Structure 1
Amino acid sequence: AGRRLRYRMLSKCRNFRGERERRGYQLAVTRRKEEEPSSSSIYNLNDPWTPTLDFTDFINNETIAGQDLVAGVTAGFLHIPHAEDIPNTVTVANSVGFFLRPYNFFDQDPSINSADSIYFREDQDPGACDVNPLACLSEAAACAPDLPAFSHGGFFHN
């Protein structure tokens, strides 16, 4: 049982001109230590070649089995401007990040215990009230508004 860390990144991170800061590592997992409350500093942006707080000092090949852990995750991307950025840059697909998800930590999906969750098997009738209590709610109890059908008149160009 453990955790899975999954990246949503567009490019690999690289060191630049001897840079020793966090950007050189996409992921670094270390033991948690009370005397290491932070692995970066707001002042590191000013001089990445001689950082105020050097992240590489935290990486010392200690065993991590059975320990409280800290994951140093670098998330970033490079945007190269192009003609479609004028007058504004589209940001819909320009995102990076990571997911920290359980991995064989639970016996089943923990969301099954959420309010109003329903679980039924193939041989059960999803319309039966004893199997699916939400199927027997009155229409007034449903919170979804009654919206008219969507229609689109097209685009008009002069």
Structure 2
Amino acid sequence: MWLTVGNYHLPRHEDLPNTATSGGPLSIFIMPHNLFTYSPDAFGCNRFYTESLNEWITGPQMKEECQMEPIPML
């Protein structure tokens, strides 16, 4: 997990000589970082690629069976 701590304080003339952060908003973000060893959408069969503008406009010709592609590693 990746932890980010943020502090936002805009200094004002009343803060001098010290810039205390009382009343300023504090935030903590806990975000996953390198959670998977591969892309989790690699197992999905509901994706398609278009090779031409005409295919993009009219829609691709879907194959009847799903063929799994190799999993891309990070």
TM-score by length of 2: 0.32
TM-score by length of 1: 0.19
